[in-house]
Amino acid sequence: MGNQNNLWNDYQRRFLKIVFGFLECIVQFLFGLVYGGKKEAMPPITDLMLLESASSIALKIRTKKITCEQVLDSFITRIAEVNPVLNCVVADRFDDARKEAQAADQLIKSGTMSEQQLEKEKPFLGVPFTTKDCIAVKGLIHSSGLFCRKHIRAEEDAAAIKRLRQAGAIPIGLTNVSELCMWWESANNIHGRTNNPYDVSRIVGGSSGGEGCAQACAASAFGVGSDIGGSIRMPAFFNGIFGHMPTPLSVPLSGQYPSPVSEEQERFLRIGPMCRRAEDLLPLLKVMTNNLPALRLDDPVDIKNIKFHYQESDGGSKMISAVQPDIRELFGRVCLHLEKAHNIKANKVSLKRFIKSAPMWFANMKSPNGPTFAEQLTNLEGKINPWWELVKWTFRQSNHSFVALATCLIEKGGCRYGDEKYQYLVEERDAFRLEVLDLLGDDGVLLYPTHPTSAPYHHEPLVKPFNFAYTGVINVLKLPATHIPMGLDRNGLPIGLQVISKENNDRLCIAVARELEKAFGGWVPPEIDA
């Protein structure tokens, strides 16, 4: 009887998967008609310095081959070129940044610190960077895309920003996010919507979507994002850059809004680097973690000593898009490279619990007494009436996005904290975590899709809201992961994959990122005219 039930459930799941795929094709066709022919050209990169890594720029600054002011001017000019088309940078501090660049140039010119001292104590001296509008930068707006926070200014830097400043880096602006950072398209009622640099009719992801876009179009030397369900890795995927979600608690979360509402969420949420070049990941992570000894970031990694495992899909979840062929093919290409270059035989696995990724994420995000989303939308000063706001939204009178209102309405759906279904999904997460840890050991990594499709059209995520589960499940498993760009698909949109390791083995993820960048090219600039 049990086998018959399982068989029936499997048939039912497959049928629903086919229906969902059919509807998805129709919707994508309709969106293609709506957005087709509406492409707006993004200004090409004409300044070759913008193509360099943050580490290379820092080296040239401290060796006096270029000044901090020259670098800053290049990025300010770039932002002015791209922002009217992409809308990725939503606030700036150019005047203060220029003063800080002048001070950095004076420090170098004075000779009071040797090049070796500068490299050790201020490894990113004079390098301009951006961060998303939910991570505090003193004096700048700190809204997290929430309309009622549009006049709030950060009184001090977030801990991660403070550490980067101590390393000499200069914050120059904030980038766009989704409302309260809880959706995977970056649009809100303060700053508007951000467009993809490879096709402006496509999304940039969320919630660090503005940052992913800024890196892809070379609007700053590197960026800082945060990730509780894929908010670093999805934008990195959609925009063709690198993004690292570190080991839980390795980078302080102070200065991030909204804050985690439970001890569990503190381990799900991470702050990490986003950049165009893999060589920047390790030095940025060293700064942001204060080179935490447990991470052993100074230990050399030999790619030949890493055990590679891979899985090409979640196993066929019925409400999640199938992994597109261009992305599936990446795994074969990686396996072939590893075998030819390093005589490594990657191990294909089939972890069945991946199919429960979305339910596990939603259940594990529940908290016993945290504020509701309706309360968070008021900046914790009361709560909104989502039904009334939805009526207002229909007439364009609401200060909230449709997605935020929908989140309020469905928040009480599914399981409740502590009920039978919640306990089951938490136990499943715990069992899955042990299964993955056993697979990885101390020297293994798992290659897995970052997302099942390349960047969809604007608003298209509403039709496939659970696609984020490919990244979200890694958060609730409490593991570090790096997104690795692997070129463009047949539509000219970025694709790639994520590499996952055991906690404190971030260095393995980053070593794999560097290896695959060397083999497959990494970031592909949208357009260059030198």
Alpha helices, H only, 111-158: 115-121
DSSP letter, residue 135: B
Q: Indicate if 318 belongs to the active site.
A: no
* 28 sits in which H/E element: helix 2-35
Task: Single out the residue of 112, 106, 13 nearest to residue 61, CA to CA.
Answer: 106
- Torsion of Cα atoms, 499 then 271 then 159 then 73, to 10°: 90
Contact 126, 208 (CB under 8 A): no
Q: Give dist(CA 513, CA 498) in Å, integer.
A: 9
* Candidate list 201, 207, 220, 398, residue with the active-site label: 207
Q: Give dist(CA 424, CA 204) in Å, integer.
A: 34
Residue 143: what residue type? S
Q: Give dist(CA 374, CA 233) in Å, integer.
A: 27
Q: Which SS3 state, helix, strand or coil, does residue 90 take? A: strand
Task: Single out the residue of 476, 459, 77, 14 nearest to residue 269, CA to CA.
Answer: 476
How far is C-alpha 524 from the geometric centre of its chain's CA atoms?
A: 17
Task: Single out the residue of 445, 457, 510 nearest to residue 482, CA to CA.
Answer: 510
Contact 142, 259 (CB under 8 A): no
How far is C-alpha 258 from the geometric centre of its chain's CA atoms?
A: 16
* Candidate list 74, 220, 231, 357, residue with the active-site label: 231
Q: What are phi and psi of 112, to 5 degrees?
A: -70, -20
The structure tokens 């294909």 sit at 348
* Candidate list 122, 132, 366, 478, residue with the active-site label: 132
Q: Using N-to-C axis directions, what is the helix angle for 325-342 and 506-520, rounded to 10°?
A: 100
Beta-sheet pairing, 494-500 with 192-193: unpaired
Contacts of 366 (CB under 8 A, 6+ apart): 415, 416, 417, 422
Q: Indicate if 74 belongs to the active site.
A: no
Tokens of 298: 């100074």
Q: Measured in Å, how far apart are the chain's first and last C-alpha atoms?
A: 69
Q: Within 13 A of 450's CA, how many CA atoms are on the CB side?
A: 34
Q: Indicate if 231 belongs to the active site.
A: yes
- So which residues are the catalytic ones? 132, 207, 231
